[in-house]
Structures are given as structure tokens and as C-alpha cells.
Amino acid sequence: MSVVLGIDTGGTFTDFVLVDHGRGSVATAKVPSTPGNPARALAAGLERLEGVERIDRIIIGTTVATNAVIERKGPRVVFITNRGFEDVPFIGRMDKERIYDLNWRKPKPLMNRRDSIGIGGRFDNHGIEIAPLAEGDLAELRDQLAGVAGEETAVAICCLFSYLNGAHEQRTAEVVRKVMPQADISVSHEVSPLWREYERASTTIADAFVKPVVSRYVTSVGGALAQGSAPRRWNLLASNGGYLRADQALKRPAQLLISGLAGGVIGGRHFAERAGHDAAFILDMGGTSADIGLVISGTQQYTSEFKIDFGIPVTIPCVAVQTIGAGGGSIGWIDKGGFLHVGPRSAGAEPGPAAYGRGGTEPTITDANLVLGRLDPEYFLGGAMSLDMAAARAALTRLGSALKLTAEQAALAMTQTADENMANAIRLIAVERGLDTRDFALIAFGGAGPLHARAVAERLGVKTVIVPPYPGLCSAFGAAIAEARVDRFQTFFTHSEGVDFGALGAALKRLRDVTVAELRASVEVEDPVIRGSADMRYAGQNYEIEVALPAGEMDQGGWDETMARFADAHNQLYGFTLPGEPVELINLRVTALSPEPPASFKMSPKPGRAPAGGRKVWFDGKAPVDCAVFPRARLADGAAVDGPAVVEESDSTTVVFPGDQIRLDPSGVMVLTLGGRV
Amino acid sequence: MTRKGHWVEPTRTWNDTSVNYCAVCGRLIPRRTWVFDGGAGALDACSPDCEDLYESYLKPTYGAKANDAHHKG
Amino acid sequence: MSTHRLELDAVGLNVLHNALANIAAEMAIVMMKTSYSTIFNEGLDFSTMLLDRQGNIIAERNFAPSMMGAVNYTLRWCLEELGESFFQPGDVVVHNDPYRGNCHIPEHMLMKPIYQDGELIGFAGAIGHLAEVGGKAPGSFASDATDVYQEGLRLPPVKLLEGGRYNEQLWRVILANHRTPRNSWGDFHAMIGALNIGERRLTELVGRYSLKTVIEGSHRLIDYAERRLRAEIAELPEGSYEAAMTVEDDGVGDESFDVTVKLVIKDQRIIADFTGSSPQVRGPMNCTFVVAAAALYNAVFSVTDPHDLIPRNAGCYRPVQVIAPAGTVVNVKHPGPSVGGNTDLQPKLIDLLLAALAKAVPERVAAATGGSSSNLLFGGTHPDTGRYYSNYNFDGHGTGATAEKDGNDGEVTRHSNCRNTPIEVFEHRYPLLTLRYGLARDSGGAGRHRGGLATERIMRVTAPEITFSALFDRCKLGAPPLFGGHEGGHSALLVKRKGEAEFRPFTEVFGVKSPTKFTNVVLHRGDEIYYRAPGGAGFGPPSERDPALIAEDLREGYVSAAAAEHDYGFKMEGGGRA
């Protein structure tokens, strides 16, 4: 039985959740982050955890890679590609983020144009070498690289059609290694063997760009963990929500680019399952933004392209998460036509909401919730901080006067606008996948998630809101329960009018072997679970649908089954099929994982301080309502309590509307059932 | 602004493929025409708003005009 | 009857606006994911919309700004011409008639009436560029067409579906006149699928909030959008601002033609008066009325709403008006051709209008972009599959510099937001080998801020034969600069036959009339094409450019040492990048 520590390093706080599967218990800690020296926060948190005898496994979710990309703080990247195509990262896809903005700056890739080197050699679209990579080319490359001296340099290599044949990339990498033994090298057919050269180049460049910073991070963290009860080997949470041994993660650090977001999705999915829901939206709402994830048939959803920013696409397998600018610090403002907007501008932590008393004067969501009585000014962050009601009220009065509303009505308008924005984002996610939001539950966490979840749910026709225990720690919890998991994909074309079963079977087997080998490098596993799928479409369409491949040999029978599944999926999504039309298979995907035993521990809410008993809370624009206020622990007897109510805990506050019911499920989650209409 | 024009219903049959355009702004005249006297003869317009536009802008800028062959398509 | 109450206050209107915009967005997703032509699904050359019973837009999802004029006028004109009773439940009406409100022959507008209890409550609409619609050249881009009949099959408003059933006779005619009927079939179905989703969702929305609330709310949103835009226009200095431009040729002859505009800003309205522009030309460089209108909306939004804050519905088009005399190059009459007007006159019209606005609000405009879509169309039988294929390729030009910054490199034209096709996808589909795809050094016009660089490409034919058509522009006259900047780099379109040493113009090698506009030139295995899009123009005198920026241009290879010296009088120690 293992003791697993999950850690989530956020911008402000680093959270720790220790799950003891043997005893079925959980311990937690929260310390301020130390971004300049992450090891310090880790050491501090380890000390803070109580009653720890040993730790069998550590998994860390980190934003170190993401931040490096967003802040563009990284090495000089030298990009090597086919001669004549040096500008591929600069041309990109040609489209604009904002159509009418004449001053929109097209984003630069993570490199300078002078560092883009073209070499000889070329493969065609069948993977046939139509021009060799000659010794003369390599000699010239050596000369050019010898001139790159001094600053920290990483090298990204991406040649056309390398996903069909990586020989030229390999050869080039060998040459680079000899000339620049210190440099980190990323090779596109290893990082992301998918077609579409710009996205693959962008991913490979990002991989090279973050290698040095991730490497330093791993060294620093390894040092901190080397002391005390921590195991020598430790793990990082990858963007696909699985964990990898830290030294393995270093081989393809692009995998870490949404490490910081994956934990929340894993945690959210777990609590959805605990509450008996296999279809759920996950809403993690914090200070600046809300991250939205999706669970279907009990599984979190994945995607294979992530845009860190417009202009930096990254094709790695990752949990599907969408971030929108809606958080506690989002500012309410009025446009020239008199319409109210909330966000995406945020007051951040400095100056922060008006109620923080740090000089902020613009009204934020936190200010609105305070004025509406949904937050207790003396119990914010578990009492760690007190909020200035007068300042919040003043900011909202100013906003209200422009709208001819009272401060409370303006506050309500703000929260409703933010709720509408979040509901809208969720709606579009559902729409993209042909789903009906009414079939889903909503899992809410983060500092502000449980405050807004009920209102967001109502807008979506969702009837149930689930609030996990320790809603502020859900990401760390997700890290603690993550499985060892490797996802790989490979572009491999097959046309239904001429399937080469031998080649297809061989390609699948190769991909499976590589994936399982990578899994085994992180964890000992006898019988990994292996799943295969394929991206398919009607020949002529441009968007693929992922179809699970049947187990067993890929023979005529297996293929027929696959085709049938594709037709069903197409019909499900779009409402029609094209019988008789040829179908293309574009990519193969394999997942290998070492499943974790189902978590069976209990997370009992900390007994909170005695509540004020009740206060007035606004639910509509007419008059406030007397509302019971109590700590989460009060629900421990399992009885359902009718709304209106405000349930408080140190991480967050849950708002229950009149007509709703809330109860604490034996599994430890709070279940809010929407009733009636507001 | 008092308008002097009036609507004229089209006499096209369904198999007549010709179209007509406003002599003031150039928009298509989908069906009925607003005909008014621009001071130099009749003008076919797409709506009474174009009579206003003619009086307030086009005539002061370019002088009076009448229908010519050009606006019929 | 409704299941929910919605107050039409500021919050409630926002909710309604989101709900309507989401329906249009959902329609767009369906279209994108199920269509066949890459111009739809990769290029995103389409728009979806919801309209009220009178044909006013209440929400749109617009990927292609060039369609703004059509979406604003087409349905209203159809309703006016044919009457409301022409539309019946279960109908889907199609039309691509350039003389009746469409952009150019390939663009097809589909409209579906939506009913509740037998009463017409609104319409779902979708407009998109079909890749192949017949006519004299594959890809329906006849660069030397002299009338609409050479451009493709023209459809006045007719019913694709009638009472929910295929109007088979019409489909047979359409499919018999398109070169790739399977693609047209797929694309039309993608559009119909989108319309069906639009109908379903609008019906649900009306059920949720009541028809009265939805209609009243939509009209308030329209009024709100109009108010917003008027408030923005009120901040522009009133006056009459003129600009003129010359376009190098019309595709058939080599005479240039002119467009002049007088932009009048008064009483919170903007009128763009194109009186005095050339009469319509013989070749397909004319544009239709709705395209001129779209160009004006584009220019106006660029200076008043660059961050897309004003909802796009009928209201934001009301304060803005075009005067485009019928029979001029900006409002072509039957039977004048117009396929290139949308792709190559429109971007120049936007730049022209910005040049006029430069006299009012110089800090808000930009110098001219390359201003051409660099259209290259080709088709043939694929040697590997034996199947017929055709493709419409366009590429990125340089954008114009502004008071604040240099132009962007390799960006799509202002009137669209299409993406390029990845080379790996391109070579998977078509028998052409790409030898180079990059940015052309020195193609950005010099200035205090420099114009953006254009893309260039070299391709080699790897099939026995491929038939090419092209509509390029700005090969003789570069993009016009502002305030003392230099013009943008010229485009180029050249061919090198197998065994020859040099690239030469198509006029020399094939005897076509125009070096940039021709149809149906057959190339054979081993022949190569080189093209370069036009560069963006500069803003402000080159003498005022910050030397640090010029040094960086040299180091990054955007500008050559020779050009740095010639245009900026700048010499760098140690030389720049080779």
C-alpha cells in the first residue's frame, strides 16, 4: 500500500496533498510559492505535513515550462530544417488573431530568424528520399554551428515528412551533438511525429526552448527532495494527466507544458466518479482565470493540440482544458454603449480587488461577492486575510451609478455576467463535441469555483453541482492520484480503398512497443493497459474524428469494425454519414498506462470555526434573503440541508440558492442539487 | 424632408432575368422602385431614404441628374 | 410560452447576445468539420448567421470579412424580390448571383426559413466559397473571363430543398456543371447541416425565453450596436476626405483603371462615395456592390472597433453607407465578370478607404497591404489515384506599416482570415513538389515603420500535366505608402520549363496577354513555378527610422545591406546577414 504525495506549484501558493492508501487518510499543507527557488517551498511544505513516516511516490505539477514560454525566458534556439523552408516558423498559418486590429503584432516564434538554418536533403510525401543529406551539407552545418558560441543554446530540428522517415533528422542531430555537446537538442520525429510542419516545428522549438529551464528545475527539486522521508526518484505530472519520472520527462519536456492544469482535471474527474457521475464539466475558478475540463463516460477528455498563446501551437497529447479570463480578480467595466463587461482584465494580486485594501479601486468579482453577502469579510482564506467591505461597496456604488443600479444590483449584474461568460465557454465546448449540457454534472473547485458553480449550472440546465473536499487543493490531489501514463501518436496514412493490413499492423505494433517502453522507463508494470485509436475522416474532409481501435489483429474484420465505429461517431457528431464514401485514416494513437487501484480514502472536512449563524445574502436584485451560514463539517451527518445557505471552508465558499438542497456524500464530496428556478 | 416620389410596382414576368439598380446609391432594386424627380428628370431609387440622400448630398455635390441607361442591368 | 424569464436589461441583453452568437458559432463548427473543400474547412472561408423575419442579421459568426456586405443585404433583397411567401417550411434556398447581392460566383448563400406554429420567425443563413462551380477554368477562377458565363454556374435564388425534400432536378443541373460534384455535394450538405442546427437552436431559444422576448431583445441589440458604432464615429473628425488609386490591369487587357472615393463623415454616419471611378472593366477585376460595402465596413471597424467589441448584427452596418454607381468597377452590372473583384480589388478598396481616413485619423490607419490574394488555381488527374482534383491556392502578403509598428510578414489579406495549407498536406493531396516556401527579403516598403514581407514559393510539377490559372496583382504597381514611406515590393509570377535555366514571365513562355492573370495554361512534369506575393507599404519617411530597428532588420535578414544603404542611408559595421 502506498503513500503518495501530490504537489501543485501555483503562482501564489504551493499545495501539498498526501494520500495514504493503506490507512485511507489524507494530510494537506499549503505554503507560499518561491518561484525564484522552488526547492524552498517544497522543503517548507514537506516540513509542514504532519505525521509522515515515509513517502513512496511524489508527483509534482509545475508551471515552470509554461511560464518560460509565456514570459519568453529561455535559451537561444537554433532551428534546423530543409533548405528553402527556414521561414516556416515565421510564416505560420498566416491568419490573424484579431481581424480589424491594424496594430496587431504577429507573434514571433521562440527564436530569431538569423538562427534558422536550412540544410540539404528531402523526403517526399511517401517517405522516399528524393534528395540525400550530403556530407557537404553536414560540413557546412558544422561550420555554421561552430559560429554559435557563448550564450546558452538549444537546437530544434524539423525536416519535412520526418514522421515518415526520420533519418535525416537523426543524422543532423548526431552532427549537432558532436559540435555542441552542451546543447539541448530536440528532434521533431521524436517530439511529435504528426503531419503539418508548422505545428510540428513549433512544438519542437518549444521543446528545445524549455529543456534548460526544466533541467535546472529537476536538479533543484531533486536536491530538495534528497533529504528527509522523500524517495530518491520522483515524478512530474505531464500534460496528459499521467506522471513520468522526472529524468524521463526531461527527454521531451514539451510534455510538461500544461502540467499545471492537468492536476485539476484529474482531481475533478475523480470526484465526479465518487459522486456517481460519468459525465461532468470541471470548473476550476481561481483569482485570474477559470479552467474548464470535460469528463465523458467517466474519462477526462484529451486533445492533441494546445495553443499556449496565439502563435505558439504545441501538438502534444494533453487533457483538454480551456482557460477563460474569469476569476475572482476580474474587473467589471462599462463600454461606450452602456453594456457591462466582466474581464478579461484582472486586478491580479496587486493591487487586487478593492476589498484587499491595497489601492485597487475597480470593482472585481471578489468585491461583488463580498457586497452580495456571499463572502464573510472576516473569514477570507480561512481568516488569513480580512476584506474591506467599505472599499468594495464604494467600487460597486461607482459602477452602479453608471448603470443606474444600486451597489448590490451592480454586484449581481457583475456576477451574473461572469456566470454567463463561463456558461458560454462550457456551452461551446459541449457544442464542439455534439453534447447536451443538460446531461452533465458540474464539478467546481478553486477559490472561486464553488461560489459561482450553482449559477453557472443553472444556465446550462445542469442539475447537480459537486464540490470536492478541500476545493482549493484539487490540483494537488489530482497529482497525487495520477496514473503513470504515456500517450504517443504517429501520422500513418491508410485509405479505405486499399488497406495494407501488414503495414498498418506493423505501424501499430511499433507505436505500441515504443509507448510501452517509455512507460516502463518510469514505472515497473507487469501488465500495462494498452489502448489504440485512430484519427479518421471521409477522404476530402479536413477534420478527423478519434475512433477507438478494436483489440486484436488489424485484419479485414478489425478494419470493418473500425469503419463501422467511425460511421457511428460521425453520425453522433454531425447527424449524417456518407455511406460508400472512401475514408482516410491519418494518425494512430496509443495509450499505455499503469492503472492505480481505486482510491478509497476518506477526506473529512476540517472542523471550521463557529459560523456567524447567518447573514443576509442577495440572490436577486430585489431584496436580500436571510441565509444560514455554516462550516462544511456541519454536514457530516449526511443529512440534506435546504437552501438558501452559505457553506464555508478555509479554501472556498459554496453558495446554495433558495430551493436547492446540499448534503455531504459519504464519499466526502458535497452534492448540491438545483431545485426550482430563480 | 418632404418626399416627392412614389412607389412603382415592377412589370417583369418571372422569366425576365434583368435587374435594376438605384440611380442614387447603386444598390439593387429588388422589386418595386421609388421614383422621384431629381430636378433633371425621373430617378429610379431603391427607397425613399435615397431621395433624401440625393437631396442632401448627391445633388449639392454633383448637380441634378436623371436616369440614364447605365443603372439598368 | 416560455420556460424562463429574461429581463431585457443590460445583463439580460448580454445573455441573449451570447445565446444568439453561440448559435451562429455552433453552426460554424458544423460547417467547418464536415465540409469537403479545404477552402471551407482549412481556409475557413465562410460565415454563418441568424436573421430575423425581415432579413436583418441578429447574430453572425464571421470568419470572412469579405462576406459582411452579402450577409447584410442578400436575404433582405431576396425577401423583397420574391416575397415572404416564396419561403415555405422545410425550404433551403441557394443563390450565388453577383448581380443580386452576392460577392462573386464561387460564394454561395444558403437560407433556411424558421417557423413556430406555422408563423415565420426568422432565418438561418450560411455563406461559403465552393471550390469548383464550373465555368471556363478549373477552380472557377477565370482570371481572363469577360463575362459571368465564363466564371461558373450562376444561380438566382432557387430552392435546393423544398418542403424538406431534395429538389432533385436542380441538384442534377448543379452537379452536372461543377467539375468536382462530390465536393459540392459534401459542401452543400455541410452548409445544410449548419442551417439545421441553427433552426433547432433558435427554436429552443424561443421556447426558453419566448418569441416576443427573443425578437424584442434582438432588436434592442441591433439598436445597441448602432448606437455603439455611432458613438465611435462621433469621435472621428467630420469632413470629406478623398483618395484615389490605380489598379494595374483587368486581366484581359493591360490598361490600368482607377478607383476614387470621397469619404464623408457627418452626423455620426459615414458615406463612401465611389462616384468617378472607372466604368466596369472587361476582365474580372470588377467587384459587386456588396463587396464594396464589405470593404467599407472593414475599414470603418478597423478605425473604430479594432478589438471586436461591438456586436455584429444589422445595427453595426446601419450608420455606414456606400454610393457605388451601377456599371462602375465597384458595382458591376450583368454580364460583367467579378471573380477577382472579391479577392483582388476588395483588399485594395480597404486600403484606399484607410488612405482617405488617414487624412482624418492618421494615428489609427495603416499603409497599404500587398493587397492581393495571389490566387493560383490548378487541377488535373492525380497520377496516384486517377481521380480528378482541383485546388485554389492563395498566400500571405505583407501588411502595411502604421504609426506604431512595422507591417506583419506573411499575413492573409484584410478581407479574409484564411489559413494557408501546410506543405505536408499540400503534397499529400497534389502532385506538386515544393522547393521553397519563405519570406522575400526587401519586399517590405521602407519607412519610419517598414511594410511587412511577402511570402514566396517555388513548386515543381510531378504529374504528367497540371492545368494552371492565376490571378495575381501588384506586379507593376506596389502597395501605396503613407506619409512619405515607400511602396511595397512588387509581386512576381514566373515559370521555368523543364530543362531551362531561368524563370521567365508567363507572357514570354506561353504568350498569355497578362503576366499575372490567365487561365488554363498546361504545365508538364519537371516544369516549375515561382511566385512572390506583394509586400506591405511603409509609413513615414525612411530617414526617420530608428537605426536600431534597421540594424535588427539587417541581422534578421529582412532587409539586405544594399537596400539598407539605398533606402535608409544605413551602413552597418561588419555587415548584416548574407
- Residue burial A343-355, b: 16+ Cβ < 10 Å; e: rest: bebbbbeeebbbb
Q: Which residues of A11-47 are buried (b: 16+ CB within 10 A; e: fewer)?
A: eebbbbbbbbbeeeebbbbbbebeeeebbbbbbbbbe
Where b means 16+ CB within 10 Å and e means fewer, C438-460 reads bbbbbbbbbbbbbbbbbbbbbbb
The whole-number pLDDT of residue A519 equals 95
The kind and range of the H/E element at C329 are none
Q: Does A79 touch chain C (CB under 8 A)?
A: no
Cβ separation of C22 and A413 shorter than 8 Å? no
Q: Do the interacting molecules here have an ipTM over 0.90?
A: yes
> How many CB pairs below 8 A link A and C?
198
- Report pLDDT for A121: 97
Subunits touching A (CB < 8 Å, at least 3 pairs)? C
Share of chain A above pLDDT 70, in %: 97
Identify the closest residue of chain B to C280 by CA–CA distance: B70
What pLDDT score was predicted for residue C18?
A: 85
Residue type, C351: D
Check residue A228 and give its pLDDT: 65
Taking only the tens place, the pLDDT of each residue in A522-549 is 999 889 999 999 999 988 777 889 999 9
Write out the H or E segment, with its range, that includes residue C203: helix C181-209
Using the beta-carbon criterion (under 8 Å), do C14 and A417 form an inter-chain contact?
yes
Q: Evaluate the omega torsion of the peptide bond into residue A597 and state whether it is cis, within 30 degrees of 0.
A: no
- Asked if A445 and A652 count as a contact pair (C-beta separation under 8 A), the reply is yes
Residue A392 and residue A415: Cα distance in Å, rounded? Answer: 14
At C422, the pLDDT band (50, 70, 90 cuts) reads very high
Interface contacts B/C by beta carbons within 8 Å: 64
For residue range C232-277, list pLDDT tens digits in order.
999 999 999 999 999 999 988 889 999 999 999 999 999 999 999 9
Q: What is the mean pLDDT of residues A469-478?
A: 92
Check CB contact of A402 with chain C, cutoff 8 Å: no
**Does the reported pTM lie above 0.80?**
yes
Chain C nearest-CA residue for B25: C323
Mean pLDDT of the C507-522 span? 92
Asked whether the predicted pLDDT for residue C510 surpasses 50, the reply is yes
Q: Residue A611 — very low, low, confident or very high, per pLDDT cuts 50/70/90?
A: low
User: Are C325 and B58 within 8 A, CB to CB?
Assistant: no
Task: pLDDT band for A608, please (50, 70, 90 cuts).
Answer: low
A676 Cβ under 8 Å from any chain C Cβ: no
Under an 8 A CB cutoff, do C323 and B25 touch?
yes
Contact C422 A84 (CB under 8 A): no
Average pLDDT over residues C326-339: 96
Chain B meets chain C (3+ C-beta pairs below 8 A):
yes
At A41-80, the pLDDT tens digits run 988 998 888 778 888 999 999 999 999 999 999 999 999 9
CB contact under 8 A, B26 and C81: no
- The per-residue pLDDT for range C435-449, each reduced to its tens digit, is 999 999 999 999 999
217-276 of C, contacting B, C-beta below 8 A: 262, 264, 271, 273, 275
Q: Give me the DSSP letters along A467-479.
A: E-SSGGGHHHHHH
Banded pLDDT at C1 (limits 50, 70, 90): low
**What residues of chain A lie within 8 A of the CB of C369, using their CB?**
none
Cis peptide before A35 (omega within 30 of 0): no
- The answer to whether B57 contacts chain C (CB < 8 Å) is yes
Are C331 and B21 inside 8 Å of each other by CB? yes
Interface mutation vs chain C, best among B28, B55, B72, most C CBs within 10 Å: B28
**B1 contacts on C by Cβ (under 8 Å):** none
Secondary structure (DSSP) of A27-45: EEEEEE--TTSHHHHHHHH
Per-residue pLDDT of A98-139, as tens digits, reads 999 999 999 999 999 999 999 999 999 999 999 999 999 999
Smallest CA–CA separation between B60 and chain C, in Å?
13
Number of helical (H) and strand (E) elements in chain A, helices listed first: 16, 35
The answer to whether B10 faces chain C, any CB pair under 8 Å, is no
Q: How much is the average pLDDT of A462-487?
A: 94
Question: What is the full DSSP assignment across A623-639?
Answer: -EEEEEEEEGGGGGG--
pLDDT tens for A241-271 read 999 999 999 999 999 999 989 999 999 999 9
Q: Which residues of C touch A197 (CB under 8 A)?
A: 422-424
Q: First and final CA of chain A: distance in angstroms?
A: 48
Q: Do B26 and C324 touch (CB under 8 A)?
A: yes
Q: At what angle do helices A197-225 and A38-48 cross, to 10 degrees?
A: 50
Judge: A431–C302 Cβ closer than 8 Å, yes or no. no
Instruction: Identify which of B26, B57, B61 has the shortest CB distance to residue C326.
Output: B26
Residue B27 C-alpha, separation from nearest chain C C-alpha, in angstroms: 7
Inter-chain CB proximity B26 and C325 less than 8 Å: yes
Q: Which chains touch C (3 or more CB pairs under 8 A)?
A: A, B
Q: Report the range of poorest mean pLDDT among A364-373, A417-426, C164-173.
A: A417-426
The distance of C325 to chain B (nearest Cα, Å) reads: 5
User: For A626-668, what is each residue's pLDDT tens digit?
Assistant: 999 988 888 888 889 998 999 998 888 999 999 999 999 888 8
A431 touches C at CB < 8 Å:
yes
- Using an 8 Å Cβ cutoff, are A188 and A158 in contact? yes
Q: What is the pLDDT tens value at each position of chain B, 73 positions in all?
A: 688 899 999 888 888 888 999 999 999 999 999 999 999 999 999 999 999 999 999 999 999 998 876 556 5
Task: Measure the CA angle with vertex C427, ends C423 and C431; round to 5°.
Answer: 140
Percentage of chain C beyond pLDDT 70 is: 98
* Cis upstream peptide for A344 (omega within 30°): yes
**C331 CB within 8 Å of a chain B CB:** yes
Distance from CA of C213 to the nearest CA of B (A): 30
From chain C, the residues in CB contact with A336 under 8 A are 228, 231-232
Three-state SS at C505 = strand
User: Does residue C269 sit in helix, strand or coil?
Assistant: strand
Q: Do chains A and B touch (3 or more CB pairs under 8 A)?
A: no
Average pLDDT over residues A363-387: 89
Cβ contact, residue pair C264, B57, below 8 Å? yes
State which residue of chain A sits closest to C297, comparing Cα positions.
A100
Q: From the list C77, C289, C328, which residue is nearest B30 (CB)?
A: C77
Q: Write the pLDDT tens digit of every residue in C273-314.
A: 999 999 999 999 999 999 999 999 999 999 999 998 898 999
**Number of helical (H) and strand (E) elements in chain C, helices listed first:** 14, 20
- Tell me the C-alpha to C-alpha distance, in Å, between residue A234 and each of A7, A53, A231: 11, 17, 7
Q: pLDDT value at position A327?
A: 93
Contacts of A182 (CB under 8 A, 6+ apart): none
Residue of A nearest to C30 (CA): A574
Q: Determine whether the interchain pair C14/A403 forms a contact, defined as Cβ–Cβ distance below 8 Å.
A: no
Chain A CB contacts of C555 below 8 Å: 112, 114
The Cα of A82 is separated from the nearest Cα of chain C by a number of Å equal to 9
Give yes or no for A574 touching C (CB within 8 A).
Answer: yes
